[in-house]
Chain A
Amino acid sequence: MSAGDRAGEGGGAGVESAEALLAAIAGGDRGALASFYRLFHGRIYAFVLKRVAEPALAADILNDVMLQVWRHAARFEGRSSAMTWVLGIAHHKVGDALRRRGREAGHEELDEHMADEAAPAAFDLLSGLEDAGAVRRCLERLSDAHREVVHLAFFEDLSYPEIARIVDCPLGTVKTRMMHAKNALKRCLQGLLEGGR
């Protein structure tokens, strides 16, 4: 029985089996690669799609990420979880793709500037979060770097040190980006709420 067979059982493989899969992939086990893909492709695709907003491009990047896993699984050192490692690869692949597309995160300054302004109080805006469409629109308006941190914190439920490893930046930068993202979201939701009145 290959590592791929073992990890594929039950569909709920934990950290240990994901690491076993990477070890098997490093040894050329294509079944392990297929199991790894089935375990993680949904989350990687969601992460990439949130940043590039184009399903076809996101699918291409997912494929590139998995090819990178195939070629370089031996470089996984177990210092982070397999998911953190592969999201780090995806982070850089998306950055390359955005640069090629010529629209690398260009809204950071706007969001940074906006974050200096007082954000509306959280209590006043709880109702704004009940409108899923409004939340989605406001998330889409965030800069790439801010949207990425929100996704990793609240979709992936990762700690800020894990996010710092993935996006390759200092811990303080992760926390600052999250603060700015949160304030920009509040202002956006407030604007939509007021516009709807």
Chain B
Amino acid sequence: MNTRDTSSHPEDLLPWYVNGTLEGAEREAVARHLETCPRCRDEVAWLARLREQVKEAAPGATPGELGLRRLLREVEAEAPAPRRREWWRPALAAAVVVIVIQSVLLVRPWVDDGAGIVPLGGSRGGAVIQVEFRPQATEAQIREVLQAVEGTIVDGPGALGVYRVRLEGEGDQRRRLEEAVARLRARGDVVIHVAAD
């Protein structure tokens, strides 16, 4: 008879004991427990057989070389390659900073209260905004800020390192846009610039 008493049976660790990735004290504790627990030994046997079945269920055909040709074709269309554009990135970043400062001083643009922001309201999902991330921002940080606003990168980076981000989800698009812009601006550690598309 099975119970769910995980305090005395380390059920939650058994899958990783079975796949050989459990380490150190956890592995030792599970091994010790298994010496005296037939129920957990049965569980280990079941999980080991399940693992074999999962491995045997690998997909037969993959995109293979056809997929590689497609990838290289699209990479070719995307040229130039990453390294080649790196040398002028700092200059472009400086240019963006100048433009932003000019915008703030002269035009009262995207930094105002958001009243001037007009969502695209297009047929393909929510509003689209432009975002430039800090060069040192990690993928995890970028993912975090995008998830916070339910944003999906739909294009970019363009020549100036700007991404176009579509705001997913339901509701008042204008309100969602304003909230997203405010949230992204609050993350100055990750985001340099944000504006309506």
Residues of A within 8 A of B (CB): 25-28, 30, 33-34, 37-38, 41-42, 45-46, 49, 55, 59, 62-63, 66-67, 70-75, 77, 92, 96, 99, 118-123, 125-126, 129-130, 132, 135-136, 139, 150-151, 153-155, 157-160, 162, 168, 175-176, 178-179, 182, 185
Having A46-B59, A175-B12, one finds 11 other A-B pairs with CB under 8 Å, namely A46-B58, A63-B70, A92-B143, A121-B1, A122-B46, A129-B53, A135-B57, A150-B50, A157-B19, A160-B16, A160-B21
Cβ-defined contact, A62 with B63, below 8 A: yes
Q: Is the CB of B81 within 8 A of A30?
A: yes
A175 to B16 alpha-carbon distance, docked (Å): 9
Q: Which residues of B contact A126 (CB under 8 A)?
A: 42, 45-46, 49
Contact of B83 among A26, A38, A178 (CB under 8 A): A26
Known: A75-B138, A120-B2. A96 touches B152 (CB 8 A): yes
Contacts of B16 in A (CB 8 A): 153, 159-160
Verify A154–B15 contact, CB threshold 8 A.
yes
Question: Are the CB atoms of A74 and B82 closer together than 8 Å?
Answer: yes
Separation of A143 and B46 alpha carbons in the complex (Å): 21
Q: Does B4 contact A (CB under 8 A)?
A: yes
Say whether B46 contacts A71, CB under 8 Å: no
Q: Using known A-B contacts A37-B68, A139-B57, determine if residue A168 contacts B21 with beta carbons closer than 8 Å.
A: no
17 A-B residue pairs with Cβ-Cβ distance under 8 Å, sorted by A, are: A25-B82, A28-B84, A33-B71, A34-B72, A37-B67, A41-B64, A45-B62, A46-B62, A59-B67, A70-B75, A71-B82, A77-B138, A118-B2, A125-B46, A159-B23, A179-B12, A185-B50
A37-B71 contact given A121-B1, A155-B58, CB 8 Å threshold? yes
B60 CB, min distance to chain A CBs, angstroms: 10
Point out the residues of chain B lying under 8 angstroms from A41, CB to CB. 62-64, 67-68
Interface 0/1 of B7-51, CB less than 8 Å to A: 000011101101111110000000000000001001101110111
Is B170 interfacial (CB-CB < 8 Å)?
no
Interface SS, A side: helix
Judge whether B115 is part of the interface by a CB distance below 8 angstroms: no
Q: Shortest CB–CB separation between residue A140 and chain B, in angstroms?
A: 10
Interface size on B, residues (CB 8 A): 54
Q: How far is the CB of A137 from chain B (nearest CB, A)?
A: 11
Report if B54 contacts A (CB, 8 A): yes
Known: A74-B82, A75-B138, A153-B19. A34 touches B2 (CB 8 A): no
Closest 9 CB pairs of A and B: A28-B81, A159-B21, A122-B46, A28-B83, A154-B54, A123-B42, A154-B51, A175-B12, A129-B49
Binding site for A on B (CB under 8 A): 1-4, 11-13, 15-16, 18-23, 39, 42-43, 45-47, 49-51, 53-59, 61-64, 67-68, 70-72, 74-75, 78, 80-84, 138-139, 143, 152, 157, 168
Determine if B67 and A63 form an interchain contact, defined as CB atoms under 8 angstroms apart. Answer: yes
Contacts of B72 in A (CB 8 A): 30, 33-34
Instruction: Tell me which of B13, B23, B50 contacts A129 (CB under 8 A).
Output: B50
